[in-house]
Amino acid sequence: MEKLLKQACEKVDSAELFKVKSKTIPVNFEVNRLKSIDISESEGKALRVINKGRIGFSSSTGKDGFNLMLEKAVATSEFGSTASFDFPGEMKRENKKKKNIAIYDEKAADKSIEEMVKIGEGIIERVKDFNRKLRCDVTILKDYSEIEYLNSRGGNFSYHKTTIAYSVMAQQTEDQDMLMIYSSLESGKDNLDAKELTSEIIENLEWGEKIVLVESGKMPVIFTPKAALVLILSIISGLNGKMILKKISPFTSQKNKKLWSDLLTFYSDGTIDFALGSAPFDDEGIEMKRVPLVEKGEIKNFYYDLQTAGMAGVESTGNGLRAGIQSEPVPGISNLIMEEGKVSFKEMIKDIPEGIVIDQVLGLGQGNIISGAFSNNVQLGYKIEKGKIAGRVKDVMIAGNAIEELKNIAALGNKAKWVEGKYKFPHIYLKSLSVSAKK
Amino acid sequence: MREIFEKALKNNKNNGDYIEIRAEKKETTTIHFQGEKLEKINYSQQTGGNVRALVKGGWGFISFNQFDDLEEKIREAIEVASLIEKEEVSKLAMSLPVVEIINRELDKDFRQVSLREKKDLMENYNNIIMKSNHLIQSSNVIYTDRFSTIYFANSEGSYIEQEKPFLSAGFTAVAREGDNVQMSSESVGSTKGFAIMERISEKAQRAASRAVNLLKAQPVEGGEYTVILDQTLGGVFIHEAFGHLSEADFLYEDERMSGLMKLGKKFGSPQLNVVDDGSIPDLLGSAKYDDEGVRTKKNYLIKEGILAGRLHSRETAVKMGEEPTGNARALNYRFKPIVRMTNTYVENGDTPFEDLLSGIKKGIYARDCYGGMTTFEMFTFSAGEGFMIRYGKIAEPVKDVVLSGNLFTTLLNIEGVGNDLKMIESGGGCGKAGQNPLPVSFGSPHLRIKKVVVGGR
């Protein structure tokens, strides 16, 4: 790689190479039986150059073709954005508390396909023990990746990383009614508990057996951790340094202003052991750290990559992430952690005379996210009557504006859960939300 | 490629019941303007391939970027396939071996157009958006072109090479007044030459003016309405809500689902006809052969209101005792072919637009689409633009119009089919099983549907 970089620097001011090599193996079960085993090997590199002060970028898979890559990177630099940064020099983690971040587990890397098959079979067995008529789709996945980074200012790092994920979809069809329940667990470490998954699914199946009617109107709602993104997605997108810089975000002049309930505190943190978004450095060589985004309802920070930070005249927060080798780094969230509250999910339910629990929605991220507006079909939700789960709701939509609704948090759950291996959310209990139901 | 493929297949002749190899070479150029600035301009080249092997009913699949040892990849695919024990063996429907090389000639080949010319053109569109109104806060103009060549060979003797050009431009305008931020998008996708990109300034203009108009629109009041969908939203609806349920991989292993989707069942009024056709020349979902080497064709899904057919791969066809339809498609070399739509549309009825409007006291005219999603029977999609209909006339604009419902009842509730079918080729695509965005086209005449749930505050 160093040789390639030298070659590049004969033509440009400075250059950076980012290389990824990975192997992913999902074992897929469909309709209760093993359907396929896939192996996905990938390899590629991305070249970013600064040429006459402008950024150029190209990427390629395969071993050869560096010359073409360099030629294209130079060609794109002719029109590229003016670089407002230079590549970082020597890289080492300075955070004393968290020098080493665990992201590689040998046991995960060595997990055999046979073992993965057994885990999947075990999950299906347990779900089917509950109800033989269910359709169950399961994926057991492992991933191993190697990242290598090098730039012409001497900056370099490399690391390897593992991921293990179990995901389950249980489906029950009766006449024209279909109940679908998704659940998944992800970790960098081979420590997942399949029982946790199956017991969650079985609890949902029990709650969902009976269908109950809901009247349209405003009512209290509880978002489970799985559904919390409905409320948080637009906030995350509004705190993106790029959205701020371009003044697209409604939070552009809201830093250090109190916008939401005192209960609301969350941060981006790429240093948590075995969380999927963790790494020693972001994808352009800046140390990953914990960045408080919202504290007690007040916006504390926006998140940045190098280029956006340079343009905004601030420091990168170590949030320069790439969505694959074809993409340049942009501001992104490594892991997002929301602080827990004090109330248990059970107590929340008890507190509600009439309301709904929202567990899965359709249309997440659809519509005008940045404005905060959301409108979703409740794909899986339960009605609460007199402090108890009464049954499942159907043909119900929720709508609101996340920026407004988060002002009225009644309580946060006392047991946050990982979602997709990179978000950690508690239950969120809102005093009131618009619910529309089919007459 | 042909020699490499044939040699690897020959040396594994006695292993596995069926083996196929696909490879893809592609070059992609992306130009992205955001606000006043050129945000991104880049180029990528990718070469990759995969092997899919069927051994006693179990599938093994391996994808890779390095072709150094193709025979070894075949052995690995066979090895993992052998781990799958089957009580019931999956087979493949008959498909005659084909040898064909399909090249595309473009009227203005985008590979010959300079980066500067592409950039200047997009800059021009970006300026149209940014300068159209003082309330325009920002924009996104994203241009992509991609030229792929797909190579396919299988152990039955097929060898097919297909060139697949693709280009798209997406325009988003962001308008802002105080805290009120509204967005609107337009896009164009095509498999033809660069010329199409030179005549879309109207789209940029429309994205901008619609975003500004949305600032004044009131949020729609939630409830149940009679709704008229325009051609885009009608097309999205038929693709999302109905089309996906016609994909046989949803059905063939699921008795209850196949019961719901029984051929001959009444799905709508006699004026409702729905088609999927991958053989229409050069639309986004078109190809002469699908990714299993099966010839594409016109397939009726609903004929005169009756469920008439569904979409198949070779595997699902044999399972259900039907013919392959040419609908096995893979997003790229990373993925296996699965059952997908191509170009899906509602055929013309005979009701003019004005007649669809008449008699609606209070309804919604929903146009364009922000996005849609479906889970089996339930669907939801967001209109890009909405208007109230009052006493048969289009009235004030409304925003945040999200339609949702149960497919089966909604199809039966279609009470009017227009006579103005339009095929939509947008820059987006269809997503399924992680394979997103797969180029497809869709279309419909205006549709009038009663009792649709609209979310709102």
Please give the CATH number for the structural domain made up of B2-216. 3.30.2290.10
* Nearest Cα to Cα of residue A327 among A313, A300, A307: A307
Q: Give the angle B366-B370-B374 at the CA atoms, nearest 5°.
A: 90
A residues 77-96 near B, CB within 8 Å?
Answer: 78-81
* Nearest Cα to Cα of residue B407 among B383, B378, B444: B378
Check A73 against B371: CB less than 8 A apart. Answer: no
Q: What is the pLDDT of residues B171-197, one digit of tens each?
A: 999 999 988 889 899 999 999 999 999
Testing the interface with B: which of A24, A30, A41 to mutate, by most B Cβ within 10 A?
A41
* CA–CA separation, A254 and A252 (whole Å): 6
The burial of A342, by beta-carbon neighbours within 10 Å (0-12 exposed, 13-18 middle, 19 or more buried), is given as exposed
* CA–CA separation, A248 and B176 (whole Å): 8
Beta strands in B304-377 (DSSP E): 306-307, 328-329, 338-339, 343-346, 362-375
Residues of A within 8 A of B40 (CB-CB) are 57, 81, 328
Q: How confident is the model at residue A273 (pLDDT cuts 50, 70, 90)?
A: very high
pTM: 0.85
Q: Strand A33-51 and strand B58-64: pairing?
A: parallel
Residue spans in chain A of domains classed CATH 3.30.2290.10 = 2-204
Q: What pLDDT was estimated at residue B457? A: 55
* CA–CA separation, A46 and A1 (whole Å): 12
* Nearest Cα to Cα of residue B209 among B217, B221, B199, B218: B217
pLDDT of residue A413 exceeding 90, the answer is yes
Q: Strand A266-269 and strand A336-338: pairing?
A: antiparallel
The answer to whether the beta carbons of residues B180 and B213 sit under 8 Å apart is no
* Nearest Cα to Cα of residue B48 among B71, B72, B21: B21
Give B100→chain A minimum CA distance, Å.
27
Could you give the 3-state DSSP secondary structure of residue B29? Answer: strand
The answer to whether the beta carbons of residues B331 and B164 sit under 8 Å apart is no
Say yes or no: B215 contacts chain A, CB-CB below 8 A. Answer: no
Q: Give the angle B377-B383-B384 at the CA atoms, nearest 5°.
A: 150
* Nearest Cα to Cα of residue B221 among A397, A274, A342: A397
Q: What pLDDT was estimated at residue B11? A: 87
Q: What is the pLDDT of residues B244-285, one digit of tens each?
A: 999 998 887 777 778 889 999 999 999 999 999 999 999 999
A residues 394-413 near B, CB within 8 Å?
Answer: 395, 397-401
Query: Nearest chain B Cα to A41, which residue?
Result: B64
Residues of A within 8 A of B398 (CB-CB) are none
Q: Give the angle B86-B92-B96 at the CA atoms, nearest 5°.
A: 160
* CA–CA separation, B283 and B344 (whole Å): 11
Tell me what ipTM this predicted complex has: 0.79
Q: What pLDDT was estimated at residue B456? A: 67
A residues 262-281 near B, CB within 8 Å?
Answer: none
DSSP states along B167-220: EEEEEEEEEEETTEEEEEEEEEEESS-GGGGGG-HHHHHHHHHHHHHHHHPEEP
The answer to whether the beta carbons of residues B265 and B307 sit under 8 Å apart is yes
Structure tokens at B363: 């309804």
Q: For residue A220, is the peptide bond before it cis, meaning its omega torsion is within 30 degrees of 0?
A: no
The Cβ of residue B425 has, within 10 Å, a number of other Cβ atoms equal to: 22
Structure tokens at B152: 């396919």
Q: What pLDDT was estimated at residue A350? A: 98
Could you give the 3-state DSSP secondary structure of residue A120? Answer: helix
Q: What pLDDT was estimated at residue A368? A: 76
The Cβ of residue A54 has, within 10 Å, a number of other Cβ atoms equal to: 19
Say yes or no: A24 contacts chain B, CB-CB below 8 A. Answer: no
Residues of A within 8 A of B65 (CB-CB) are 41-44, 61-62
The answer to whether the beta carbons of residues A349 and A388 sit under 8 Å apart is yes
Say yes or no: A370 contacts chain B, CB-CB below 8 A. Answer: yes
Q: What pLDDT was estimated at residue B431? A: 82
Query: Nearest chain A Cα to B46, which residue?
Result: A61
Sheet containing A417-419: give its strands across: A298-299, A290-295, A266-269, A336-338, A423-425, A417-419
The answer to whether the beta carbons of residues A358 and A222 sit under 8 Å apart is yes
Say yes or no: B92 contacts chain A, CB-CB below 8 A. Answer: no
Torsion of CA A317, A244, A326, B22, to 10 degrees: 120
pLDDT of residue A201 exceeding 90, the answer is yes
Of A79, A176, A370, the CB nearest to B181: A370
Say yes or no: A253 contacts chain B, CB-CB below 8 A. Answer: no
Of B84, B219, B378, the CB nearest to A377: B378
> Identity (one letter) of the amino acid at B89?
V
pLDDT of residue A231 exceeding 80, the answer is yes
Q: What pLDDT was estimated at residue B89? A: 66
Q: Where are the alpha helices (DSSP H) in B26-147?
A: 70-82, 115-131
How many beta-carbon pairs below 8 A join chains A and B? 244
Say yes or no: A237 contacts chain B, CB-CB below 8 A. Answer: no
Q: What is the pLDDT of residues A332-366, one digit of tens each?
A: 999 999 999 999 999 999 999 999 999 999 888 87
Please give the CATH number for the structural domain made up of A2-204. 3.30.2290.10
* Nearest Cα to Cα of residue B243 among B366, B319, B342, B368: B342
The Cβ of residue A220 has, within 10 Å, a number of other Cβ atoms equal to: 19
Least confident of A272-276, A395-399, B196-200: A395-399
> What is the arithmetic mean of pLDDT over A177-181?
88
Angle between helices A194-208 and A113-130 (to 10 degrees): 30
Check B380 against A438: CB less than 8 A apart. Answer: no
The answer to whether the beta carbons of residues A264 and A409 sit under 8 Å apart is yes
Q: What pLDDT was estimated at residue B90? A: 67
Summary mean pLDDT of chain B: 93
Residues of chain B with pLDDT under 70: 87-90, 456-457
Testing the interface with A: which of B27, B43, B451 to mutate, by most A Cβ within 10 A?
B43
The answer to whether the beta carbons of residues B190 and B284 sit under 8 Å apart is yes
Domain ranges in chain B are 2-216, 219-455
